[in-house]
Amino acid sequence: MSTVVIDVRPATAKDAVGISEVHDEAWATAYRGIIPAVTLEKMMARRGPAYWSRLTSRGGAGTLVLAFDGEVAGYATLGPNRVKRLSYGGEIYELYLRPTHQGIGLGRRVFREARKVLGANRLEGLVVWALEENTQARHFYGALGGIEVARTYEPFGDAKLSKIAFAWR
């Protein structure tokens, strides 16, 4: 019999390659056909291991990783809400899993841990943004009890895409 260890913990610089791989796999799956191809490739290229190494070496709990049997299978970035007109203290900026690890409850686990970290840092309430065309993300946040509280548009190359803010008190 073997045991698989699943852990959500603060990321370190040693996780940079794994986070970068998750980022690329998840973004290619989630956004191909939504974000124009050239723009998507450029966005993904900017988030290589060096980017994640710099981000995680700052310390603190701003980046969490989901370790599945010793390998990085997901991550979340979080901190203060960036949109001050929304009355929520915290924000999950990104939450992504490898496509092979989606649909089995691991995203919920990362989300719960991110909420705990935000609460421990006195960032009460939470907002998450998702592209309207990313139906998988919209269903995920809706299933977690997120309520749509705002919409805006963001340019991605030649496209202007609608974003939805989901919130929790």
For residue 50, is pLDDT > 70?
Answer: yes
Q: Quickly state the pLDDT bin for 165 (edges 50, 70, 90).
A: very high
Look at the chain and count its residues: 169
Q: Can you give the residue ranges of every domain in the chain? A: 6-124
Residues 151, 161: Cα–Cα separation, whole Å: 10
pLDDT tens sequence across 134-161: 999 999 999 999 999 999 999 999 999 9
91's tokens: 């924000």
- The structural architecture, per CATH, of the domain 6-124 is 3-Layer(aba) Sandwich (3.40)
Helix, strand or coil, per DSSP, at residue 152: strand
